[in-house]
Structure 1
């Protein structure tokens, strides 16, 4: 017909097809972006879950090495096992179903009590990931809950998972090993494996990267001590994990801490830190009166925590590490604003620890000096 463009419809259809193709491409790009972001988010969640788990197991292993290595520095000892058991049901902060799925995918761990770490001295029959159901024929407990109403006033949930049942079974087995009764693990399926233990500092030092109160330090007399989860996540080297474990160990296995748990706070403390110094050079008088006086002055201000700093320094040195890691770790915790309660040193405690490190360095120099002292 006159005045009608016969190609207009075709052009419109072509334009429509082009628009549809463009829309499809944009949709695919957007979908890939969203899908990629979702995968990236999950990858990060898996990485973070694995990182938290690794930090916790590194600490638990360090606590065992500290208990063994510091036996000579402790006034209360027991037998310690060469393995770490772990269950998602026992972490203080309750995990959601999604978090449990991530944990299983990232670490292989779940609600059962599985072997999460083995020392080289553990039996060859044991493997990481194996399920343990009993220790010395006592069943390992399933999930239980602790109610702490005081947590509400600290801004936390009053409900948390309770691992007290697990520690009750383990500590009883340790006590029996001290009486020469072998420690026997029952694996899933009923097979039993006898485990050799080794003497070490008594008590239990705990810490969790899944802490419901990650900024809180606490201790139950001289039986248990909890290191804040925030400190656990700042630590990154074996020496730093050992320093944290030794800090908690002090409150349970040293004469002064045990005594202070049983007498009034007004009783004048007796200086008992410094065993590494006196053991390293017997009779050499390295532990100077000035050091004792300064330490006692600071302890009168800061209580037991100052002695725990020095004890941790000495334990790390006794294990062949750098005793200065405690100060370095403390600085990082301060820089990051990590809430770590009693672990954060005051200026008094830092100065005291620095003086202590100087004395430890003198010990190292004297031990390395050639016999006879001459050249």
Structure 2
């Protein structure tokens, strides 16, 4: 498709926001180029080597998942990317939503405190096995993690973790017994930790793997979306992880810290809008009493869909969720196997 044809399509759709149109056109160009490579492969020409699918470790006893690669069909590109009758496609909706959220985030003037209090309310699947071989059962366990982070993130962080009773069991006797043995049958006493620079002994918020982007990098990350994408792409990643998955996962992880300032949050939303396969997976999602829009990659994993939840009206990052996309044993397709709501408050002291 030529630049003149793209210009014509842009003029035909002057009723849409320019940023939404341009984002859709950018995705269409990329999909067109990808399809050309695919066509070259089918006709026997040379094409770049495909990488192995990434491996992602998930919380606790959940098994390793292999993320599958997205398949692009050349014949459907114009219809799904920039076809005149398909302007309501999920991709263009995602770009428009992210642009709106970025504008709102950029205008955020929430004052800072000496400390940032980050409360993570998580409901996660703990996988169990009915036969000692297959992870085909499980239970959902709530955990509330409250972290007090100093303005200088190299200082001492304080964290409290509270686990609650299992809320739902998937499976039979083995799953119920596992929940009981794991102490998920009743609320546990809170666990307190202190860690310099957030380097706690256990858990997900705080502490960083060498070379990866984390809380200590936030202050120096670029506020230009394209420069931010390049910076993330240059950071270490799991073997075989695509640039798109790496950018999405990195931004998701940084947003979850609750420490991303408004200007960088706006840049992150704009960066997500550049990803060719990002879509609105749900217009309205209720997450621990808060409502927002779910943005995700439909091919994030062979068995999971991973979303970030944002409020486009005010640019707030609400949290994230993972949905199982096919039935595994007693756990049906469509089950939310992990959800996290993040609430951030500036405070002047820590316990």
TM-score above 0.5, yes or no: no
The structure with more strand, counted as a fraction of residues: 2
Higher-Rg structure is 1
Q: TM-score range by the shorter chain?
A: under 0.3
TM-score, normalized by length of structure 2? 0.23
The structure with more helix, counted as a fraction of residues: 1
Q: Which has the higher contact order (CA 8 A, sep 6+)?
A: 2
